[in-house]
Structure 1
Amino acid sequence: MEEALEGNLELKEIQRLEGHSDRVWSLAWNPVAGAAGVPAMLASSSGDKTVRVWQQSGRDWDCVAVLDEPHTRTVRSSAWSPCGKLLATVSFDATAAIWKHAGGDFDCVSTLEGHENEVKSVSWNASGTLLATCSRDKSVWIWEVLPGNEFECVSVLQGHTQDVKMVQWHPFLDILFSCSYDNTVKVWAEDIDSDDWHCVQTLGESNNGHSSTVWALSFNSAGDEMVTCSDDLTLKVWKSEIQKQQVGDGYAPWKHLCTLTGYHDRTIFSVHWSRDGIIASGAADDAIRLFVENKDGQVDGPSSPSYKLLLKKEKAHDMDVNSVQWSSKETRLLASASDDGAIKIWKLESIS
């Protein structure tokens, strides 16, 4: 695959989506839309207190819904359930809201309260039975999804010493990851005997972790590698023998593989790994960068891969790039969001 991605590519802007009146913080692709005749769908969360839902119509993208209640402050993040029928949104108003998508309409069916202040991120597990939220109050909450659109908090995880920026479930295991202003990534798992959730690993500076705020993380398609991004201007790649956990061998720790440094000179806010192995990063320098594994550059054998810059899109936006998200269905389709209030749809194409 490396040869096909070598040198002759461009990140082409397909469409600019406008409508938000403040910065756009994050983006979320509907995981079941965009294939089998179902139009692609994208949710955007903004400082204007709304979530907009965009749907592809031929070559164009249209705003098909504006979710302007019940949040009263910035909407920081959103996430679709695995079935694509529920959308969770979280806000600086300390709440999470659950929206049901049916027949083209979005109805708020539940509001989750409990965090002391700004809720920063939300994530569903692979089966759609658990929801995680995190907050500036330093806590991570795990909610169980009950019948009738009810949600019950089953655990409040206290371990971070600062604002928790992001929560993300593993792609297919019920293991939760959180990254924080305290410079760490924490890994949480449930104790089978007690049903209690606890921290099973902390990725910090002592084990080749970040030296400043960790903003985001993303997994590769196999779920055995993870990339993290930070205010320390680096991306770090981690690996776990995840298949051992599937056969009941207990927790397999994550180990540092490599650090991508020297590419960014301002904070890296977002990172996302595509299904075909391309890492995208969005940063405060208004640019988008794409990285791929450099198989030719290995010097320590297959256990020590390195990554190389595939391309850099200068001035992708007029201000900070807050979110980059590869499409869950269409390979090489990328969405980005910025402080400039715009969302852009990009296509990674070969230059003829």
Structure 2
Amino acid sequence: MASAKIVQLQSLKPDLHERAWVSIPHPNLPLIATAHGKNVTVFSLSTLSLHSVLADGHSRSVRSVSWKPNLPPHNLCLITGSFDSSAGVWRWANGGDEGDDDSADGLGRDMTRGPGNEDSAKTGDWDYNLVLEGHDSEVKGCAFSPSGAYLATCSRDKSIWIWEDIASAESEDDWETIAVLNEHEGDVKAVAWCPDVPGRNNVGQRYYSVDVLASASYDNTARIWREDSDGEWVCVAVLQGHQGTVWGVEWEPRPKNDEFPRLMTFSADGTIRVWTLEQGKDGTDADGSTIPQDRLGGIPSTMRRSFREQWNCTAVLPKVHDKDVYSVTWSADSGLVASTGSDGIVALYKEDNDVVPNFQSAPEDNAPNDSARSNHDVSTVSGPQWQLLTTVPNAHGPYEINHITWCKRHDAGSMRRGEEEMLVTTGDDGVVQSWQVDVKAP
């Protein structure tokens, strides 16, 4: 069995001195954005210190952030989701001043902040360009699709809104609501778009768009959503089995053998589940039945029962947490998974590819109503398929840890800047902590 160590590196400075919710790395640049209080603090991963601050936008706490992908390095855009029921669109105000690009992170003078430069990180560096309104209660999560064309927001009002960026040369920020999804029966805690990886478009491409969205809810379920050929977003699967709030969803970032990405769900019941799409042949449903030629034509979305996908629970990770699992992160480089939550434990797992799944039917009480059963059949797998490599107890002392993420190392202590990975945890203590992960093969 492989062995591993998680070694504490330095925390990102300055400490925030209040509960911090999430830290989201930029998809390409050495930046990471942390939501705390009514603000977002952006840190440089090159200096592990303050880069800039987003403030004076929201009237209540900022709970989530998302970087808009596929933008030029000096055209930064961040979305913030807040307890004030709105999402904010922020843009870096110094986009035209690239300065001398001699820094290690390649961002130029205005984009790097080092120790002693905190005073230069003014809130005016970011413009609060637009407020996206529509939710009736706290916005818990926000996420961009891989292309950056769509934004999903979710809320305590039990809804998911999908927004399209329709900006033009005349207007840099112009957003349109294209769908409001109301099928969850409780707060929607998180949303995540399936990554743009090989195999993602092999299923349902005749009937659906390429974008796939997953959501997690207080109603103990996760759901899978797709856009049909009529431009309507429909729920194609309800993933049941958790015995508590599903706090989040995490897509497999790099599937093997061009298979459709798997999905992890993590819950207040202390478990982490892996879900796999059962892929049928083109022209048939996953159960082998022929897809009606008129499956789309004129049928109300609530009656489109042929819109379903079979998602099986193919693994349950080794039980580590005795309380809520708040966050899980899945590495695209190594395939390792790390988790954390209200018990303050950081756990590291490795998939055992030699174990063959043994499927068995889940108890009937996993499907509380006929409507849910019509969308999916729940199955589980017996036998461990994942190894627990190591744990770090009390990783933030007595405080809960709200988020964990893999990101690239760019700091001076890295032997391979931009290639080596580290973990970053974010907690109630207001500390954003980095960790080195060392794994030795058996």
The question of a shared fold, defined as TM-score above 0.5 by the shorter chain, is answered with: yes
Residue 174 of structure 1: CA displacement?
Answer: 0.6
Q: Deviations over 1:158-213 (max 9, x none)?
A: 01111110011111241111100000001111121x21112111111xxxx21110
Select the residue among 5, 12, 19 that pairs with 2:7.
12
Deviations 1:129-166 (A, max 9, x none): 00000000000000000112211111111011111100
Amino acid at match of 2:407: S
Once the two structures are superposed, the pairs formed by residues 126-141 of structure 1 within 5 Å of their partners are 126-141=146-161
1:186 — aligned with what?
223
Change (3 A) 1:64 1:161: same
Aligned AA (1:77): S
The whole-number CA distance in structure 1 between the counterparts of 2:212 and 2:310 is 12
Distance 2:357 2:66 in 1: 39
* 1:322 pairs with one of 394, 397, 402: 402
Contact 1:233–1:261 (CA<8 Å) still a contact in 2? no
Aligned residues: 330
**1:75 counterpart letter in structure 2:** V
Q: Does 1:234 align with 2:271?
A: yes
Answer whether contact 1:217 1:272 (CA < 8 A) is retained: no
Q: Which structure 1 residue ranges, 5 or more long, are not aligned?
A: 34-39
Tell me, yes or no, if the aligned pair for 2:23 and 2:426 is still in contact at 8 Å. Answer: yes
Using the TM superposition, give the Cα deviation of residue 262 of structure 1 relative to its aligned residue in structure 2, in angstroms.
2.8
- Whether 2:175 is the aligned partner of 1:151: answer yes
Shift of 1:11: 1.2
**1:306 aligns to what?**
385
RMSD across aligned C-alpha pairs, in angstroms? 2.4
1:170-249 alignment runs, 5 A limit: 170-172=194-196, 173-192=210-229, 194-204=230-240, 209-220=241-252, 221-222=254-255, 224-241=261-278
Q: Following TM superposition, by how much is the alpha carbon of 1:244 offset from its aligned partner in structure 2, in angstroms? A: 6.7
What's 2:88 paired with?
97
SS at match of 2:42: strand
Deviations 1:30-55 (A, max 9, x none): 0011xxxxxx1100001x21100000
Query: Where does 1:20-169 land on structure 2 (aligned, <5 Å)?
Result: 20-33=16-29, 40-46=30-36, 48-57=37-46, 60-83=47-70, 85-101=76-92, 102=95, 103=97, 104=111, 105-147=125-167, 148-169=172-193
CA drift of 1:279 comes to 0.9
CA contact (8 A) 1:224 1:241 kept: no
Q: Give distance in 2, aligned partners of 1:156 and 1:299.
A: 37
Q: Which has the larger radius of gyration?
A: 2
The letter of the residue matching 1:15 is Q
Tell me if structure 1 keeps the 8 A contact 2:314–2:357. Answer: no
- Deviates most, 103-112 or 135-144: 103-112
Native 8 Å contact 2:318 2:388 kept in 1? no
CA shift digits 1:251-296 (9 cap, x unpaired) = 7532110112531111100011111211111111111101111234
In the alignment, is residue 253 of structure 1 matched against residue 310 of structure 2?
Answer: yes
Shift of 1:299: 6.5
1:70-115 deviation digits (Å, cap 9, x = unpaired)? 1111110101112253211110011101112335432222211111
Deviation at 1:350, TM superposition (A): 4.9
Amino acid at match of 1:186: R
Q: CA deviation at 1:346?
A: 1.1
1:53–1:299 Cα change, 3 Å: closer
Amino-acid identity (%): 36
Q: In 2 relative to 1, CA 242–346 (structure 1 residues): closer, same or farther, beyond 3 Å?
A: farther
Per-residue deviation at 1:56?
2.3
Q: What is the TM-score when the length of structure 1 is the normalising length?
A: 0.87
Instruction: State the TM-score, normalized to the length of structure 2.
Output: 0.70
Q: Distance in 2 between matches of 1:327 and 1:99?
A: 22
TM-superposed CA distance for 1:349, in Å, is 2.2
